[in-house]
Amino acid sequence: MPERDKGNLLLSLGLPCFCGGGGLLALAFLLRSREAKLRRELELMASTELLSVDSAVRAAQRRGLNAGAYVELCGQSYTEQPLKSQDKLAMAVETRKLEKVERYKWKEGDYIYEERETTVDGRTRVQRTNTGRREPGKWVPSIQLREVERTASTAASGVCFRELGATSGLMSSPLQICLDLKSFDVEGLLRCQSETKTYSPSTSTNVNVTVNSDTPPPARILGYETRERILPMGQEVYAVGNVAWRYRASVKGMQGEGAVAVLQRAQGKPSIFAFGSRESILQQRQSSLEWTGSVADLLRSLGLGTMALGGALGLAGYLR
């Protein structure tokens, strides 16, 4: 290969390597930023006062309307007027109805092969030859699921939580803190929950499939599958954010009169509502912090190495 062509080849290899290394370094920088944010959040959460739900509600009442305070809380999920799901009481329910349909697709028959013997230089060889003909084709069923209905509803009394282990009194409702659904995404919370499935078969009649028919058999509905996710009652929750005393009418996701303690987002600080214990949530964030740092280190090393290789190849190509 002429020297000039070798030089062009090296340059064509060096430029993509150099650019690819730069891209890896950019990803590493983004992950480092994410790591720094997670670290700051963990440090802030560690320094935040852990209050009981009852104490946080009474403190919000004393501060007066709309005066928030940043707190860390543990409790259990609760709402005064829960919804009924298939077998449990829930604060929010998402239901999807899927239609199970059987459709037919035409499948060509397999090619027909023949074995033929040939003799070359006194040696007999068996050769498998495609005749160009096929076995008879047939209609093959396939099952498809199609969503036909989706509903999501939240209890009129809101998505709330109360003191861990609290029980309802005979004369009064327990103290509770409710989420401002303008700050917290109910759909996101529901997606984190496991999905239950129930199936109801259809009463459709059987379909007779004619093998040699030119038209596909009609599709038929085999049944309906109902999938449901709920925000359950009585589960341990962990929350971080501003707690303020507000009128119910001003809180997204709540109905009724009077005022209630509300968990809302804090500007520039982590705001969390999650199902699980404080220890498990913090451990998840610590694991995420460590994973992010490890991947950032790996990408940085790969990026520097790839850029160095690209630079070396480019310089070698230029000097030829």
Q: What is the CA radius of gyration of the chain?
A: 32
The more confidently predicted of residues 19 and 222 is 222
The more confidently predicted of residues 40 and 178 is 178
Q: Which of 15-19, 69-73, 105-109, 162-166 has the lowest mean pLDDT?
A: 15-19
pLDDT for 85:
81
- What domain count does the chain have? 1
The stretch 259-263 carries a mean pLDDT of 88
pLDDT for 293:
74
The stretch 53-78 carries a mean pLDDT of 86
Amino acid code (one letter) for 191:
R
The more confidently predicted of residues 231 and 20 is 231
Q: Mean pLDDT over all residues of the chain? A: 78
Model confidence pLDDT, tens digit, residues 143-176: 888 888 898 888 888 889 988 876 655 434 578 8
- Decide if 74 contacts 48 (C-beta within 8 A): no
- Give the burial class of 34: count Cβ atoms within 10 A of its Cβ; 0-12 exposed, 13-18 middle, 19 or more buried: middle
pLDDT for 170:
43
- What is the span of the domain harbouring residue 305? 3-319
Q: Which of 95-99, 122-126, 235-239, 274-278 has the lowest mean pLDDT?
A: 122-126
Helix, strand, coil distribution of the chain in percent, nearest 5: 35, 40, 30
State the CB neighbour count (10 A cutoff) for residue 246.
21
pLDDT for 123:
78
The more confidently predicted of residues 214 and 313 is 214
pLDDT for 172:
46
Percent of the chain whose predicted confidence (pLDDT) is above 90 = 2
Is residue 4 predicted with pLDDT exceeding 60?
no
- The model's pTM: 0.67
Model confidence pLDDT, tens digit, residues 93-136: 999 999 988 888 888 888 888 887 777 777 777 788 887 788 88
